[in-house]
Amino acid sequence: MKKLIIPEDYRNMLTRESTESAIKFIKDEFQQALAKKLDLKRVTAPMLVLGGTGINDDLNGVERPVSFPVSSLNSGRVEVVQSLAKWKRMKLAQLNHEEITGIYTDMNALRPDEELGNLHSVYVDQWDWEKVLDGEPRSLETLKSVVGKIYEAIRDTEVALCERIPVFRPMLPEQITFIHSEELQERYPDKQPGEREDLITREYGAVFVIGIGHSLKDGMPHDLRAPDYDDWSTPTVNGYKGLNGDILVWNPILKRAFEISSMGIRVSPQSLEKQLKIRELEERKELMFHRKLLSGELPQTMGGGIGQSRLCMLYLRKAHIGEVQAGIWPDEMREICEKNNIELL
């Protein structure tokens, strides 16, 4: 089990029954806090989208969606969503006449190419949110302002949980620290991106790494991003590129950086053109979503996803995502977990 981390002397702080009750509390509490902080209205999300439209996301650019033919659609293929970044933008365009400028939803996805371990399963559950910029500039300041509000919701939920279950104590810092991936590379030039994240997050407790997807000075990106949802190529006032990033917190159980959210200002027609060219994927401009965006039919937005099981793992001091969601795991992983007090659901 190459990717399996076994914390030393690990013990569950809650029974399975208490864990289930706490999961419900966290999910109810956090989505209310998020909606209030960002002024979002809840909408219903699809599990399936039509293939060949460009609506589904390919995340880092290489993940395969689960797809199958539907007989009632003349055997046309549909895909299980991998995220809703593009769908949400189309939904906001649809809701424009109702003057709804911000939405959130429960996103349930399947990602069969994930390498299973403490943090990843085939099933993905997150809160997906999207806001119309509505006159706000496409700027680093806009991005940071929203990140700050999301982090407040994360902190507020932690405090509420600790009041409800006193066995836990708040551990997140009061403020989140911002750092650009270029600065991170300059700070730790001899480290790989994952090692840089561990070092900076251990130091500050909660960090937003800005600029995910563009090439750094060594010619490699901090991490991969698809070219058609987040804007990672626009230069900012400090000369760095990128209007997107990841919220990371320090996980004291796994002793590593722990990604809670991926988010950013979405591509404009100009940055979409640029990023498709950089990735040599200009043929995507013929897909339905991309045509609508390039022709100005979709609003300028920002948005992201916040891991539901990830937050539950963090708050409840769990070592494995299978302790907060029912999943499918290799027999060897189940056996190792059972021997080390990791109680998979």
**Marked catalytic residue, from 57, 58, 182, 197:** 57
Tens-digit pLDDT profile for residues 265-310? 999 999 999 999 999 999 999 999 999 999 999 999 999 999 999 9
C-beta separation of 324 from 309 below 8 A: yes
Whether 262 is catalytic is yes
**Marked catalytic residue, from 126, 233, 261, 308:** 126
Integer Cα distance of 243 and 46 in angstroms: 27
- The yes-or-no verdict on residue 72 having pLDDT over 60 is yes
Radius of gyration of the chain (CA): 20
What is the total residue count of the chain? 345
Q: At 117, phi and psi to the nearest 5?
A: -175, -155
C-beta separation of 235 from 227 below 8 A: no
- The yes-or-no verdict on residue 335 having pLDDT over 60 is yes
Whether 270 is catalytic is no
Q: Give me the mean pLDDT over the 89-118 stretch.
A: 89
Whether 57 is catalytic is yes
- The pTM is what? 0.94
Cα–Cα nearest to 187, from 165, 173, 170, 204: 204
From residue 170, alpha-carbon distances to 81, 157, 159, 167, 256 in Å are 34, 10, 6, 10, 18
Sequence-distant (≥ 6) Cβ neighbours of residue 166 within 8 angstroms:
none
Q: Give me the mean pLDDT over the 170-180 stretch.
A: 97
C-beta separation of 241 from 306 below 8 A: no
Q: How far is CA 85 from the centre of its chain?
A: 10
Sequence-distant (≥ 6) Cβ neighbours of residue 132 within 8 angstroms:
92, 101, 102, 299, 300, 301
Sequence-distant (≥ 6) Cβ neighbours of residue 281 within 8 angstroms:
227, 228
Give residue for tokens 């949110």: 129
Identify the structural domains of the chain with CATH numbers, from first to last.
18-339 (3.30.930.10)
Whether 111 is catalytic is yes
- The yes-or-no verdict on residue 318 having pLDDT over 90 is yes
Whether 246 is catalytic is yes
- According to the model, what pLDDT value does residue 100 have? 87
- The yes-or-no verdict on residue 334 having pLDDT over 70 is yes
- The yes-or-no verdict on residue 237 having pLDDT over 90 is no
**Would you state the structure tokens that stand for residue 147, as one six-digit string?**
């990140």
Read off the DSSP letter of residue 278: H
Q: Give me the mean pLDDT over the 47-51 stretch.
A: 88
Cα–Cα nearest to 306, from 239, 233, 229, 249: 249
The per-type count for the chain, helices as H runs and strands as E runs, is 9, 11
Integer Cα distance of 312 and 209 in angstroms: 22
**Marked catalytic residue, from 58, 79, 111, 158:** 111
Whether 106 is catalytic is no
Sequence-distant (≥ 6) Cβ neighbours of residue 321 within 8 angstroms:
118, 119, 120, 121, 309, 310, 313, 327
- According to the model, what pLDDT value does residue 67 have? 87
**Marked catalytic residue, from 246, 268, 273, 317:** 246
**Marked catalytic residue, from 83, 262, 271, 275:** 262
**With 0-12 CB in 10 A as exposed, 13-18 as middle and 19+ as buried, what is 123?**
middle
